[in-house]
Structure 1
Amino acid sequence: MAEYNEKLEDLLDHHLIANEELEKRKQGGGIGYLINGNMCLGIYKDLLVARIGERLASSLVDRPGIRKYLPDKGLYDDFVMIEEQVYSHTKALQKFIDQSISYTGRLPAKDHGKTQHDSQ
Structure 2
Amino acid sequence: MAYNEYLADKLRQSLKERKVSFIEKNMMGGLCIMVDDKMCIGVIKDDLMARIGPHVYDEFLKKPGARIMDFTKRPMKGYVYVSAEAWEDNGGLNEWVDQCLVFNKEAKSSKKKR
Global fold match (TM > 0.5): yes
Work out the CA distance in 2 between the residues paired with 1:10 and 1:84: 14
Counterparts in 2 of 1:1-120, with a 5 A limit? 2-17=1-16, 18-20=19-21, 22-72=22-72, 74-112=74-112
Measured after TM superposition, the shift of residue 25 of structure 1 is 0.9
CA contact (8 A) 1:69 1:81 kept: yes
Identity %, equivalent residues: 24
Work out the CA distance in 2 between the residues paired with 1:73 and 1:83: 18
- Structure 1 ranges of 4+ moved more than 3 A: none
Which consecutive unaligned segments of at least 5 residues does structure 1 have?
115-120
Aligned CA RMSD, in angstroms, stands at 1.7
How many residues get paired?
Answer: 112
Query: After superposition, what is the alpha-carbon deviation per residue over 1:12-36, rounded to whole angstroms, capped at 9, x for unaligned?
Result: 111112311x221111110001123
Which consecutive unaligned segments of at least 5 residues does structure 2 have?
none
Structure with bigger gyration radius: 1
TM-score with structure 2 setting the length:
0.86
